[in-house]
Amino acid sequence: MRSSDILIVDDEVGIRDLLSEILQDEGYSVALAENAEEARQLRHQTRPAMVLLDIWMPDCDGITLLKEWAKNGQLNMPVVMMSGHASIDTAVEATKIGAMDFLEKPIALKKLLATVERALKYGEMQTAAGPSLDRLGNSPAVQEMNRRIETAVRQSGSVLLCGEAGSPFETVARYFHKAGTPWVVPEKTEHIVDTPAELLQKAAGGVLFLNDIAQYSKNIQQGILLLLGKADKQNVRIICPSTPPPEDMLDHPAHDGRLAALLSGLCIRIPPLRAQADDIPFLVARIAAELSETQKIPVATFTPGALAHLRQHTWPGNYAQLHDTVRDLILAAGQNEIDETAAAALLGRTRAQTPDDNTAGLDFNLPLRELREELERRYFEYHISQEGQNMSRVAQKVGLERTHLYRKLKQLGIQFSRRQGKNDAADSESEEN
């Protein structure tokens, strides 16, 4: 439960007291802030259901604070702007940033109460609707995944989430969970076989979320098969992550091919982090904001150089590695800005500690042809990242003519831009001249 319903941010004590008195009389709990710094602290401490935010404040105006929350992924509650001097253009700007509404001072009692009620209902609806699909970014790879999720949510049946180790399986699984329904994770793996009826009863009407099915024994996988057969009767949706794709599990001696075949009907593939470099700044800001919310870690500032370095990293550990990296950088920096030197130093230490990164996640039980393709894919993705998407330099680095390189990348399913390649070639030519 929230410790406050409404956060009022206004530098005029008379306005704060008046609004507080009115809203408390209506039964709302209220927190008060006289400037942006207090607003930041109270938003973190009280987690308000909505914010009434004055535009004109001495230290930091409301528009700037609104932009900050939007940029840092902290605009997860309705915000209503207030001002006695703002123009229509200012109100429009606030709405574009993410404000829900605008109140002009002096605020009429009836309009205030109607706006607050509407904002709170809107916030409840957003919470009930579950997480937004833009949570993991907006790159083409993520957009494609989101389209598949939107289709799958409207269907019934269990879901297989395929992705590399470190992929955000639970985040994606949450898209299938409806607010107010059970979210169940087995406390012990053995419960899948020993007490399947109890698990399904607990999850009735909601989601049963399992761990990576490829890590389970055949006995446990057979238990999952039984769960899948009875899930519909309890209206339970079972979500199963898997690091290998189902086609690799069908004939593998360590896996039950029947389970892979059954789950392959509704499979969502999560793209590796190296395929969504453009999302890195957004993800870094969101992770930093979440760490601030959950662990009371100050929201950190990353320089453009630091973000560029993070974008260029190959992230063999995917989202989990990015999360840990952002946390470690913030803790090491304290209240200071995080620059490129800090990012490079941490990622350098990480690489030094894991000399087997080049082979991490490779399945040496695969046929040689498939294993070679995966290794080649990583090889080219590494050099594309290292060269900042400059395809001319990549071609020189790997010793291939550019047309041959493009053909090879297409064969391996690696996305690239011919236009970017042409631009790179022109840039390289001009540099040489």
Instruction: Identify the CATH number of the domain in which residue 340 sits.
Output: 1.10.8.60
Q: Tell me if 120 sits within 8 A of 49, measured CB to CB.
A: yes
Mark whether 280 and 258 lie in a shared domain.
Answer: no
pLDDT at 163 (0 to 100): 92
Three-class secondary structure of residue 73 per DSSP? coil
Mark whether 189 and 240 lie in a shared domain.
Answer: yes
What CATH number did the domain enclosing 424 receive?
Answer: 1.10.10.60
Tell me if the bond preceding 106 is cis, omega within 30° of 0: yes
Distances (CA, A) of 225 to 37, 117, 139, 231, 248: 54, 47, 35, 10, 18
Mark whether 32 and 116 lie in a shared domain.
Answer: yes
Mark whether 354 and 374 lie in a shared domain.
Answer: no
Structure tokens at 318: 């995917």
Mark whether 300 and 342 lie in a shared domain.
Answer: yes
Better-scored residue on pLDDT, 224 or 378: 224
**Does residue 218 lie in a domain region?**
yes
Q: How far apart are CA 10 and CA 23, in angstroms?
A: 15
User: Is residue 432 pLDDT above 80, yes or no?
Assistant: no
pLDDT at 21 (0 to 100): 94
Q: Tell me if 203 sits within 8 A of 176, measured CB to CB.
A: no
Q: How far apart are CA 301 and CA 189, in angstroms?
A: 41
Q: Tell me if 316 sits within 8 A of 361, measured CB to CB.
A: yes
Q: Tell me if 398 sits within 8 A of 405, measured CB to CB.
A: yes
Q: Tell me if 36 sits within 8 A of 65, measured CB to CB.
A: yes
**Does residue 333 lie in a domain region?**
yes
What CATH number did the domain enclosing 114 receive?
Answer: 3.40.50.2300
Helices (H) and strands (E) in the chain, counts: 20, 10
**Does residue 133 lie in a domain region?**
no
For the chain, percent of residues with pLDDT exceeding 70: 85
Mark whether 30 and 106 lie in a shared domain.
Answer: yes
Stretch 149-170: mean pLDDT: 91
**Does residue 59 lie in a domain region?**
yes
Q: Tell me if 50 sits within 8 A of 9, measured CB to CB.
A: no
Mark whether 371 and 422 lie in a shared domain.
Answer: yes
**Does residue 421 lie in a domain region?**
yes
- The number of distinct structural domains making up the chain is 4
User: Is residue 433 pLDDT above 70, yes or no?
Assistant: no
The closest of 279, 263, 356, 269 to 322, measured between CA atoms, is 279
Residue where a domain stops, chosen among 212, 240, 269: 269
Please give the residue range of the domain that contains residue 116: 6-128
**Does residue 134 lie in a domain region?**
no
Three-class secondary structure of residue 204 per DSSP? coil
Per-residue pLDDT tens for 302-357?
Answer: 999 899 999 999 999 999 999 999 999 998 888 788 998 999 888 876 543 343 44
Mark whether 20 and 97 lie in a shared domain.
Answer: yes
Side chain identity at 139, as an amino acid letter? S
Phi-psi region of 109 (alpha: psi -120 to 50; beta: other; left: phi over 0): alpha
User: Is residue 224 pLDDT above 50, yes or no?
Assistant: yes
Residue where a domain stops, chosen among 341, 358, 375: 358
Mark whether 403 and 325 lie in a shared domain.
Answer: no
What are the backbone angles phi and psi of residue 112, rounded to the nearest 5°? -60, -50
**Does residue 1 lie in a domain region?**
no
Mark whether 205 and 256 lie in a shared domain.
Answer: yes
Mark whether 214 and 186 lie in a shared domain.
Answer: yes
Residue where a domain stops, chosen among 328, 358, 388: 358
3-state helix, strand, coil in the chain (%, to 5): 55, 10, 35
pLDDT at 402 (0 to 100): 80
User: Is residue 4 pLDDT above 70, yes or no?
Assistant: no
Q: How far apart are CA 420 and CA 107, in angstroms?
A: 53
**Does residue 409 lie in a domain region?**
yes
What CATH number did the domain enclosing 248 receive?
Answer: 3.40.50.300
Mark whether 176 and 193 lie in a shared domain.
Answer: yes
* Long-range Cβ pairs for the range 119-126 (8 Å, 24+): 119/50, 119/78, 119/80, 120/5, 120/49, 120/50, 120/78, 122/78, 123/49, 123/50, 123/77, 123/78, 124/49
Q: How far apart are CA 366 and CA 320, in angstroms?
A: 25
Side chain identity at 423, as an amino acid letter? N
Per-residue pLDDT tens for 411-422?
Answer: 887 766 544 444
